[in-house]
Structures are given as C-alpha cells and as structure tokens.
A = this chain, B = another copy of it.
Amino acid sequence: MITGHQLIAGREAPCDHAPYHAVNPTTNESLEPAFCEATTAQADEALRAADGAFDALRSAAPEQRAQFLETLADEILALGDTLLERAHAETALPMARLTGERGRAINQCKMFATLIREGSWADATIDRALPDRQPLPKPDVRKVLLPIGPVVVFGASNFPFAIGVIGTDTVCALAAGCPVVVKAHPAHPGTCELLARAVFSALRKTGLPDACFSMLHGRGTEIGIELVKHPLTQAVAFTGSLRGGRALMDVAAARPQPIPFYGEMGSINPVFVLPGALKENAAKVAEAYVTSVTMGVGQFCTNPAIVLGLQSPELSQFVEKAGEFAQKVAPQSMLHRGICESYDAGTAVWATINGLQLAGQSSAEPNHEATQAACRIYTTTLDVLESHEELRREVFGPCSIVTQCPTQEEMLNFARGLEGQLTAAVHGTPDDLREHAALIRVLERKVGRIIFNGFGTGIEPCPSMHHGGPYPAASHSYFTSIGTDSIYRFVRPVCYQGFPDDCLPEALQNANPTQALRYVDGSYTREGF
C-alpha cells in the first residue's frame, strides 16, 4: 500500500536513487519501503501542475471545495488502523494520542468546509457609486479576498496529522482555492504517503483535478529550497525549527519576486507563577506544569520551557513538588533519533552550568535504544538564566527550568527582554492578575496567546485561536497557523471598480447570492440590494 513514490499531480514517480528509510524510534528498525530525494525536475513538474490547476480550483464553487474537504475527512478516517499503526511506527506517538490528533485533523477539514460554505470569511466589501458627489463622483468599488496561487507546505515532525500533509496549512490553502505542493516530512514519509493518497482520492471523488496536489519526498535541504525558490510558488507555510525556518524564510525573501513565508518556528513559552497561585495550590500547579512539560514527550511548540516566580518558600515548595512529579514520569520514545540526541546534548550543556540545579528527573532510566527521553526539571536563579543565552533557547523535549526571581520588578524586566513567543502563561488568583497588570501589558507586546491558569499545550482550532506571535515565534506576527484565520495567509484582496454586476465574483454581486456577511456602504449586512 505504501510505495515510496513521489506523488506528482496524481502521477507516480518511483524511487530510483539515493534511497532512505523511515526508522521506528521505539525498535530502531528500518521500515519499508524506501523513499528518495525528489529531483529539481519533479519540483518543477509539481509546481507547473499546481499552477495549471489553479484556475479550475479557484473557479470551483465553494460548495464543491467544501465537499472535497468533507470527503477528505472521510478518506482519512477510512485509512483506519493502517494510518494509525504506520504513524505510530514512524513517530512513537501513542495510539491514543494519534487517534485524538486524527480527530482534530478531521475536524479541521470540516471546520474549513463550514467556513467557506458560509462565505463571510472572504471579507466582501462594497462602496457603491455616488455619481453626483461633489467635487468628484464616487466610483463603484468592491473588493473580496481571492486565492494567491500555488502554496508550498512543510509539515511538522510532531503533529503528523494536524500539522502534516493534511494539516491546517494544506487544508486551508485548498479551501481558499490554492493548489498545494507538500514537502513530506522525512521522519514519517509512509504516514505522509497514506495521507497524500487520501487527498487524491477526495479530489477525484469530488471532481477536482489531481494537479491541485503533489507531494515530494526528501531528507536533505535541497528539495525544500527548490520548492521555495520556484517562480510559480506564491506562498510557503512551514512549521519546524527556527534554524530551518529562518533559512527558508531568507530564501523566500531573496527571490527576484519575494513571496510571503509563513513560518511557525517554536518558542520557550514562559510561565509566570504569581504569589497567589503558590499560596493556594503550589502542588496542583506543579503537577499540571509537569504534565504540560511532558505532553507528547515535550515535543510541543507550546511546551513551557521556563517558569518564573518570586523567590520564596512557596516557590521552593513548587520546585520540590515539580521535581517529585518529574521522577514519576516514565521515559518515553521521542519522534526520532535526531531529536532525542539534540535533547540529550542540550540538557548535557545545561548540566555544566554553575547555578543550575536538577530539581528532579524521571527515576527510571531512559532506554536509549528505544530513543527514550527522561523528563528533567531544573531550577535556577534569574541572574543565571540571564547570563546564559543557551538556557533561554528552546531545547525540544520534556525539560523545563523553574527560575527564582528576587523581585517582581526583575521578573517584569525579564519579560521585557523576551523575544517573540507563541504563548505565555500566568498562574495566580484574579487579584494577582490585577496586581500584575503591568506584566500583561508587557506580554501583549511579546506573545501571540496569553493563558491564565493553564498552559499553552493543547490548542483549540477555533476562530479566536492565534497560533503565532512576533519573530522568532512566527515569521509574520499578523498571521496564525492554526484556527480558521489561518486561511488569510493564502489569499489577497482584489478590487473591482465600475464592473457590471454579472461580471463580478458572486461574493460581490448586488443580490449577494452567497448570503455572506458583507460590509456595504459602511454597514454590515447579509442583504442584497
């Protein structure tokens, strides 16, 4: 069932050189079949096909695209255990987690189907003519969001479904009417192939061209760079490391025609534990914290890597409790050997830092053969954190540092010096929050999402979700990579002036056949005229 082929606009291109295999991180076994690097010619073929299919896809009625998305949800589900088992073998993520993530991915398909069927997302705006206005007549001007063209998607290693081949990026681009070329993740290429075949199946069942979609394999950086450089590529979505993301972002910016690059590049997600939280339930917060740190073996971009609190007996108790909870965490297999080695190397560097103490770690030894990582909770003081840049860089995995701050003002100053973050969390009583309003004002400048009495892990894909933030959390802070608003990355406004009604896109026609909410002459309305 899994062939290792490049899947280019429905055409199958067998693997014929430089083969590589996925590896089961738990058993260290190589998984069949072989995959291989896509070629420059194949990248070109995929993007030409995407460009050629663009007119058909964008002119398809929203209803047809909605049906495609719903069919895709069915096709993903129809893969059944074949999908879950392959994903489990390639990522070591537990079956329960994968089942849950599949549910999220399917819901995302349905969410975008609902969004485009309803239509208001496209921001249709109309200012009617005033031919008698003085000193100059006012023309009839209307605008609506239209898809931008072929989009290249790089999925994440840590969410093979929800941020993968059929994740938000692909699904919202296709919903908007943009053909998609996916660069398959080399750590789970078999999962990618199964999902790509679900996309083709859904395209065919709903009468859309195969050329709306392609998927190319590769482990090196070359094919990704080719895809970003290709003149027909009109936008890129990426989820992954800052290093990889920034490199591709620079390629996108240096093109003769620079294109938008939407990277979600991780974060340290600071957590501020205010006095009330420590007084009222230090143990409970500590438990929730360790649960968040170890969720998905710490392989979440919203993992809370740094906790800050006021130096106090209560904070010491929090550290002690967190250390105890860490001991109880069983070591688990990470996504692949490379991540696990980086995790061990990163925490090994930390271990050499004077003033950083291990508060607690998994009492069971991690099995290195099974790519396992131990949970490790550290504690230090603010001056140590501030004087060691490596402590403020994301180490991907189940580790975190509780930092004791001598004063509130110094904690606030640390917040002022933060780089852009996906999330920050604040724990405390409502009165704590009111007293620390200044902290929230600072975080509003640094963070995409601020969570009160919770953690950033666990993202609700909904209209109000923002998964992004100032650089380096994301490459452009206006846009989100999760939730319905992620569709805005792949559209742009087109304005029509003085057009006959029947030559306008449906969303802009007088009668409003779409019944979407529009902004007409300064008022929001679903009425036609």
Contacts and interface: CB of A to CB of B under 8 A. Distances in A.
Interface of A: 54-55, 59, 100, 120, 125-127, 135-136, 138-139, 141-143, 146, 148-149, 249-250, 253-254, 257-260, 419-420, 430, 433-434, 437, 440-441, 444-445, 447-454, 458, 460, 462-466, 468, 470-472, 475-478, 480, 485, 488, 491-500, 502-503, 517, 519, 522, 524
Contacts of A444: 146, 494
Name the 7 nearest CB pairs between A and B, nearest first. A466-B495, A253-B253, A449-B495, A477-B492, A125-B464, A451-B497, A466-B493
A517 B475 CA distance: 29
A270 to B, nearest CB: 15
A143 B447 CA distance: 12
B478 A485 contact: no
B463 A127 contact: yes
A466 B143 contact: yes
A493 B519 contact: no
Given A253-B253, A503-B437, A462 B127 contact: yes
A494 B450 contact: yes
Contacts of A458: 136
B492 A470 contact: yes
Contact of A454 (B59, B126, B498): B498
Given A125-B463, A141-B464, A452-B496, 15 more contacts: A125-B464, A127-B460, A127-B465, A139-B454, A141-B465, A143-B466, A253-B258, A258-B471, A260-B476, A450-B499, A452-B497, A454-B498, A463-B519, A463-B522, A466-B494
Contacts of A260: 476-478
A485 B253 CA distance: 24
Given A149-B445, A253-B258, A524 B120 contact: yes
Nearest to A258: B471
B478 A491 contact: yes
Nearest to A123: B485
A300 B180 CA distance: 37
A256 B407 CA distance: 30
B462 A494 contact: no
Among A254, A447, A522, the one with the most B-chain Cβ atoms within 10 Å of its Cβ is A522
A127 B253 contact: no
A465 B143 contact: yes
Contacts of A449: 494-497
Contacts of A430: 500, 502-503
Contacts of A149: 445
Contacts of A476: 260
A497 B447 CA distance: 12
A408 B59 CA distance: 22
A451 B495 CA distance: 8
B503 A434 contact: yes
Contacts of A450: 494-497, 499
